Structure 1
């Protein structure tokens, strides 16, 4: 689903505060994109958003100036876990050092897959 569909699917997502866990994650099979990880306070979801950079990874920096911005349909969301903030922080401990590495999103996915889900009362 794209980012618009993600927010439209649950109104709590739009109103919620989000905690960011970096915006430079990469995958081995998608060298012209970066990913950002956010945790939604009101839903307990941590998700990744694929942000394509058609001009290559260096074009990511041009994105700050709104050059060749990706269309909303290209901003693809993947919910990686549904849990509380403390579990996310523990699972991603040390993420700033890992994120710049090649295929770093695979590490984050492995870390988060081990969490399971927390009930809403645990958030």
Structure 2
């Protein structure tokens, strides 16, 4: 789903406090995109948003200047886990050092896998 659908699907997300967990995550299958991770207080979801950079990773800096912004439909969302903030922070401990590594999103997904299983069991 895109970012608009994500917020539209669950109105509590729109007004909720969010905690950012970085915006430079990478996926080796998607070399021209970065991902940002955020945790939504109202729904306890940690999600990623794919932010494409058709001009390559240097285009990310142009994006910050609002030059050649991605279309809303290209901002794809994936809910990675549902858990309390403390559990997410523990699972992602040390994330700032890992985020800049190659294929760092794989590490985040792996760290959050146990939270998904625990959230489904409760």
Task: With the length of structure 2 as denominator, give the TM-score of the two structures.
Answer: 0.95
CA RMSD in angstroms, aligned pairs only: 1.4
Counterpart mapping for 1:1-123 below 5 A: 1-115=1-115, 116-117=118-119
Unaligned runs of 5+ in 1: none
Helix, strand or coil for the counterpart of 1:6? helix
In 2, Cα distance between equivalents of 1:64 and 1:89: 26
In 2, Cα distance between equivalents of 1:3 and 1:11: 13
Count of residue pairs brought into register by the alignment: 120
**Offset of residue 64 of structure 1:** 1.2
Task: With the length of structure 1 as denominator, give the TM-score of the two structures.
Answer: 0.95
Helix, strand or coil for the counterpart of 2:57? coil
The list of structure 1 runs, each at least 4 consecutive aligned residues, that deviate by more than 3 angstroms after superposition, is none
**Offset of residue 68 of structure 1:** 1.0
In 2, Cα distance between equivalents of 1:56 and 1:69: 13
Please identify which structure carries the higher helix content: 2
In 2, Cα distance between equivalents of 1:55 and 1:119: 43
Unaligned runs of 5+ in 2: none
**Offset of residue 79 of structure 1:** 0.1
